[in-house]
Structure 1
């Protein structure tokens, strides 16, 4: 996908993220199974609400929805499902039974268009390792390829990654306005809380080449 230079800016007013109930994008299981392997855990589907009060950024006339994401350096090659919002306004995550499939949040930018595109994937589910299990191994400068439904591929370069507490999820930084053709990958990370939910999120930031 060509990187044309126009100044369309995705401006999304940001809603305040409450410290209680807005606990970051989960993208992972609720916790490990019991040692005997007899109890299936329930995926943690809590997520930080995205900015509200606006519509997705305008896509160009020749844009198509993303269909596949590939990160060759860590062995990721996944189809992309569409993710929207839950009834409570939080971002959906892929169902646990599709843990090896990542999802594109349709309320954000189309990958390769101006603004932040967001792809979410599980780290682990009750079924085992999931699509973004090794996302923490991705390094600065790594290539992320997103192919659209028309067969065109946009290549993104990893610029940074960070681990954040779910109760301090950087909503503005992830979803906020940018002139860049940006990509964010999100999964869970860190230790488990007393209810078996991972306490952190791992966010990978990338920009179009």
Structure 2
């Protein structure tokens, strides 16, 4: 998630809830890196997107399983996505002076982040997590395989209250930066929802990644 060749691209326009206001800068800008490892990361197939009849209104998802009661707020410590072998610590991400999200350190490709001023995963609302897809060095990042996640897979988040929030994937979509649906991705929810975001949508040497992969998931269990 080191700044890429196109990190001057304008953020997608959106005015969400106060908690998510500054997250409009995360899509496309801070997640762009080098794709120098000789191949591009997997991209979600059309079959993993929301189907047209079931497409939810902005800020809501169509849960793949029965949603459960949201948890109180608690700091997330670790994220696991068993389907793609992710088991990574989470670091709190903050904003810089310009209002852009500071990404996880570029020298820690296995580290994922969560937006500390927003909803904590498992609590009511839309929690946001993000991580590198790869680095300029060519090393794959923590979410290199995110595009291979499928509906029904699980995302687990260990929390400081010793509970594990288990989310079921509702959909996985890829968006071009110029048409990133900010309200749909970042919009608030009465349920406990999670977004996992990285770069994707193809890679061009001059401009970097052309879009973002977004996993939509809903809390369906607590351990």
The answer for unaligned runs of 5 or more in structure 1 is: 1-10, 35-58
Q: Does 1:132 align with 2:143?
A: yes
Count residues in correspondence: 172
* 1:195 aligned to which of 183, 206, 216: 206
Native 8 Å contact 1:29 1:96 kept in 2: no
Rounded Cα–Cα distance in structure 2 between residues aligned with 1:149 and 1:156: 17
- Alpha-carbon distance change, 23 to 145 in structure 1, aligned in 2, over 3 angstroms: closer
* 1:117 aligned to which of 108, 124, 127: 127
Native 8 Å contact 2:110 2:142 kept in 1: yes
The answer for unaligned runs of 5 or more in structure 2 is: 1-15, 39-69
- Alpha-carbon distance change, 125 to 194 in structure 1, aligned in 2, over 3 angstroms: closer
SS of the aligned residue for 2:107 comes to helix
* 1:100 aligned to which of 110, 127, 151: 110
After superposition, the CA RMSD in angstroms is 2.8
Rounded Cα–Cα distance in structure 2 between residues aligned with 1:170 and 1:112: 23
Find the counterpart in structure 2 of residue 6 from structure 1. none
* 2:31 aligned to which of 18, 27, 35: 27
* 1:154 aligned to which of 159, 162, 165: 165
Q: Normalising by structure 1, report the TM-score.
A: 0.73
Rounded Cα–Cα distance in structure 2 between residues aligned with 1:174 and 1:106: 17
Native 8 Å contact 1:141 1:158 kept in 2: yes
Find the counterpart in structure 2 of residue 55 from structure 1. none
- Divergent runs of 4+, >6 A: none
Cα deviation, 1:40-75, whole Å, max 9, x if unaligned, reads xxxxxxxxxxxxxxxxxxx97x53200000011110
Rounded Cα–Cα distance in structure 1 between residues aligned with 2:178 and 2:91: 26
Q: Does 1:185 align with 2:196?
A: yes
Offset at residue 190 of structure 1 (A) = 2.7
Offset at residue 23 of structure 1 (A) = 5.8
SS of the aligned residue for 2:168 comes to strand
Rounded Cα–Cα distance in structure 1 between residues aligned with 2:107 and 2:26: 24
Structure 1 or 2: larger helix share?
Answer: 2
Q: Does 1:205 align with 2:206?
A: no
Offset at residue 121 of structure 1 (A) = 0.8
Cα deviation, 1:58-106, whole Å, max 9, x if unaligned, reads x97x532000000111100000001011221122221211111100111
